[in-house]
Amino acid sequence: MRVLHCIPTFLGGGAERQLAYLCEGLSARGVSVHVVLLTDGPHGARARAAGATLHALGHRGTYDPSILWELCGLIRTVDPQVVQTWLPRMDLWGGLAARAMKRPWVYSERSSARLPLTWQESVRRRVIAHASAVVANSETGAQPWRQRLGGRVPVQVIPNALPMDEVRHAPALDRARLDLPPDAEVVLYVGRFTPEKNIPMLSEVLLRTLEIRPRAVALCCGEGPQLDRFRAQVAARGMAQRCRTLGYRRDVWSIMKLSDVFLSTSEIEGRPNAVVEAMGSGCQLVLSDIPQHREVVTAEAGLFFPRNDANRAVERLCEALDATGEARGARAAAAGRAVEQFSVARMAEAYEALYQSLAQDGGPA
């Protein structure tokens, strides 16, 4: 089995990381994996180490039609049985190339956010309607496509993966390295600073918690367009020393292991990767009550608050910080049991089964 993945970059996003994991899992199963991309990045090294062959086209404008011609030529050369696309730019060009070369095409739905129906999004949806299969990483992401496609294209859910052995062996970061007092109550946020993460509520919940708990410290890992505004709100309340923004971190599992609570105020998610990582790291969870969180976290494994209810979120954070060792251990054990289903091996097995089925059916007519 030979498969070609098309993705714009191998930079530090969640889709890029999941593809790197999938390269490992598929290679371990004997699948020949090729990846075509416009810009390399940190996850490219992991994919190469797994045995994937990377083909860099070089950076192009989003609507540069030469991408399509080069992709068609690469499909002719690599001769994959299946083409899979990741993220909007490659969904368009990779999907068109797969159709033109009569290869089965898997479209990857990475989010459940409803994109504005611009002309670009309208074109993308029309192209995706001709995919051989749609794979979403959550039921919430799959449902809109089931409604749009009306059974004309199979829609399947394959959850994101987590390399559990790596998570388990990641050491807890020494608190002194982050200049944290030994008795600090550490609240952690990991994610992009983007609208769907509900950043205004995140800042309000963190700041109010810090005001009523003098030993509490908030650590925020990630980047994004709303980061500067978040920092300004924190500085305006005089909390810059206790609410720290650490940017993008490669050692996030180690930070999770030193933290007392992981907080997510998201209004909507695709597959909440950081939540699953916190589950695997044994960190307590305080989460907005949205379908995407409920899909991966049971009531025994985390504490939930109504979406956009800052008062209840602060109460839940305090409840977690005040929890006994027994209560924390019980939640960690429940989270650990749940996270086992998200192994890289299981994800790769599910994708390979889909590829085999599509290859037997042949490409588009």
Under the banding of pLDDT at 50, 70 and 90, the label for residue 114 is low
d(CA 92, CA 268): 24
- The mean per-residue pLDDT over the stretch 77-96 comes to 95
Orientation angle between helical segments 42-49 and 14-28, nearest 10 degrees: 10
* 200 and 234 fall within a common domain: yes
On the question of pLDDT at 59 being above 90, the answer is: no
CATH number of the domain where residue 14 is located: 3.40.50.2000
On the question of pLDDT at 365 being above 60, the answer is: no
pLDDT of 133 reads 97
pLDDT of 361 reads 82
What value does the mean pLDDT of the chain take?
A: 93
* 132 and 189 fall within a common domain: no
pLDDT of 297 reads 93
- Per-residue pLDDT reduced to its tens digit, 255-302: 999 999 999 999 988 778 899 999 999 999 999 999 889 989 999 999
* 347 and 296 fall within a common domain: no
Q: Give the CA angle between residues 182, 251, 340 to the nearest 5°.
A: 100
Residue 79's identity, in one-letter code, is: D
* 338 and 198 fall within a common domain: yes
* 126 and 148 fall within a common domain: yes
* 280 and 321 fall within a common domain: yes
* 70 and 94 fall within a common domain: yes
On the question of pLDDT at 322 being above 60, the answer is: yes
* 127 and 220 fall within a common domain: no
Under the banding of pLDDT at 50, 70 and 90, the label for residue 14 is confident
Nearest residue to 167 via CA among 260, 263, 253: 253
Instruction: Name the more confident of 254 and 340.
Output: 254
- Per-residue pLDDT reduced to its tens digit, 31-45: 999 999 998 988 999
Under the banding of pLDDT at 50, 70 and 90, the label for residue 135 is very high
Length reported for the chain: 365
In degrees rounded to 5, what are phi and psi of residue 316?
Answer: -65, -40
CA 200 to chain centroid: 21
Nearest residue to 355 via CA among 34, 81, 79: 81
On the question of pLDDT at 11 being above 80, the answer is: yes
Give the whole-number percent of the chain exceeding pLDDT 70. Answer: 97
On the question of pLDDT at 363 being above 70, the answer is: no
- Per-residue pLDDT reduced to its tens digit, 183-209: 999 999 999 999 999 999 999 999 999
pLDDT of 364 reads 64
| Residue 164, number of CB atoms within 10 A of its CB | 16
* 332 and 209 fall within a common domain: yes
Task: Provide the domain count of the chain.
Answer: 2
* 134 and 108 fall within a common domain: yes
* 155 and 7 fall within a common domain: yes
Nearest residue to 108 via CA among 32, 226, 3, 225: 3
Range of the domain at 314: 164-342
* 84 and 224 fall within a common domain: no
On the question of pLDDT at 113 being above 60, the answer is: no
Under the banding of pLDDT at 50, 70 and 90, the label for residue 115 is low
On the question of pLDDT at 12 being above 80, the answer is: no
Under the banding of pLDDT at 50, 70 and 90, the label for residue 64 is confident
